[in-house]
Structure 1
Amino acid sequence: MNRAEFCFHAELNDFLPRESKKVTLTHQFNNHPSIKDSIESFGIPHPEVETIAVNGKAVDFSYPVQDGDRCDIYPISQSVELSPRVSLRPQPEPRFVLDIHLGKLAGFLRMLGFDTLYRNDYPDEELARVSSTENRILLTRDIGLLKRGIVTQGYWVRSTNPHERLEEVLRRFQLLDAITPFSRCIHCNGLLETVTKNSILERLEPRTRENYEEFRRCNSCDKIYWKGSHYEKMQEFIQGVIRNPVVKHL
């Protein structure tokens, strides 16, 4: 029986049982399994991993684990610079697909201008396929879903609080500078475009027609938006996220 040492750093310990957190673990194995399979045997989904160092040298997921190896596994928050640098996956664009448990988070991400797919009836296999074929980051509360082989970009959302979830994702993917508020439809994810009041006049309620002059329309579902009473609350929420992106859960 071969043996290798594994050390999981920072938030990767979230997936380990209490007695296995922040300690060096011994992994017993036959033959030479890939380090990806070995990592997931500990319960850690591979999309959470950013850097792998074996005996001080960077490797990718295909590396066959050898007897006596020392394996250090890092998330993005503690990614280390090794020479030569080995990339585990392409750098993701800030485009998302979310599972059924994250509907409020989907609305928040769209409010901030991020391309976010969400349905309350996505089956797991479709979530994995969309993430893979469209190069979207899969956000989920299902650890098993992240372990699917075709998923390369993904993240297990830790917090159960909707506002903290948003802050968590913004910090994890370093998105504060990419926020473009009110550029997408909260309901369908389509892009919003400015329209003249005259072009939509017949669609407006009398009070809206009287009190507002600036309008946007979704180029996908045709929904009309204006700066109503909810706009200031949304602005206040967005500014709070930008000014104070603190995630207590991590």
Structure 2
Amino acid sequence: MAEIKTGRHLLTAGETFNFTCNPQVDCFTNCCRNADMYLYPYDVIRMKNRLGMTSDEFLEKHTYSDYRDNEHFPSVMLKMQKIEGLPCPFLTDEGCTVYEDRPFSCRAYPLEPAVSRVGDYCHTAYFFTVHDHCHGHGQGREWTAEEWIADQNMEDYTVMNAHWVDMDSLFRSNPWGPQGRQSPALKMAAMACFNVDKFKDFVLNSSFLSRFDVPEERLAKAQASDEDMMLLGFDFVKSFLTGKGPFFPKS
């Protein structure tokens, strides 16, 4: 096992690390306080469904938007509670109340996936990250990245977040033109990507289906699955921002 140093490094194939997170580690749940927590679209779906909330309700109660590493598109951040220590709203003395549907960033640590795409080929590399405040490093069993991913049930998140990488890359190119952050297209894109219930209503109860060709099979899947509706939203945004994609106005 490589020497543990604060910071991060790219894991090589087969490289292992020792890590554990449980109540026996003296820093347990400290990382769940005053956290700068980014949420991805799939995180929002998992958490709002776990809580029995609509997208609007979840986004209003538990998130805020802020321009962070992408100056052209706002990040969706998890709100901490406004009490001493600024704990996560889902934190209790026993741990996380939404553990099975916790956000990707919580789930992945101490790994930081980095997704790259060339054409249809998608590759994910993994950085191993060490913070001074986490005392779980060097403890517990030995893991490879693949073993940790399987243990933390990250597979679905990895697949869905790979689609989000394409959207994030598009937004970083400032497709809004001179209107920038005031562009109506930005507001539409944010809704289509992060508010799956509102986008579903837009698809089914506006003039959307009279204006765009959506294959019946795909529409049926999207009506039955938030994940498929999210992916439909991604493709819709790509189409209206780039003029390329599966959705074209009906002739």
TM-score with structure 1 setting the length: 0.27
The structure with more radius of gyration: 1
Structure ranking higher in helix proportion: 2
Higher relative contact order (Cα pairs below 8 Å, separated by 6+ residues): 2
